[in-house]
Amino acid sequence: EAGVAQSPRYKIIEKRQSVAFWCNPISGHATLYWYQQILGQGPKLLIQFQNNGVVDDSQLPKDRFSAERLKGVDSTLKIQPAKLEDSAVYLCASNSGPRGETQYFGPGTRLLVL
């Protein structure tokens, strides 16, 4: 079974530029999560989708971050404009949704904002 796929793996941009990350969850997984992991910290949930609807985006900086999950499968996370403090690893995870079910993580996208 293929795991969660993410691209690109690495991205370097200048501040105020825009960037987009892509995630393809495990086939059949209805729930998709985006986490931000800043160096030295644990991952923090940015947004959670159930199919193509948003379940939780309370920690998403909506003035600069946006995310969508068209057709309830792939998802993109966008930052516009980027700030220095957005340098982090962006992790995508998926599962079928029930409480306590394991979330399966992709390899992440490492973003460096200069």
Partner 1 sequence: AQSVTQLGSHVSVSEGALVLLRCNYSSSVPPYLFWYVQYPNQGLQLLLKYTSAATLVKGINGFEAEFKKSETSFHLTKPSAHMSDAAEYFCAVTTGGGNKLTFGTGTQLKVEL
User: By the criterion CB under 8 A, which residues form the site for partner 1?
Assistant: 4, 31, 33, 35, 40-45, 48, 55-56, 91, 93, 95, 97-108, 110
The minimum distance between CB 108 and partner 1, in angstroms, equals 5
For residues 62 and 68, what is the distance between their CA atoms, to the nearest angstrom? 12
Nearest distance in Å: CB 57, partner 1: 11
Rounded Cα gap, residues 14 and 94, in angstroms:
30
Selection from 97, 102, 95, 92 nearest residue 5 by Cα: 92
Nearest approach in angstroms of CB 72 to partner 1 is 17
Number of residues that make up the chain: 114
CB contact at 8 A, 37 and 91 = yes
- Minimum Å gap between C-beta 77 and partner 1 is 15
Residue 22 or 81 having the CB closest to partner 1: 22
CB 44 within 8 A of CB 36: yes
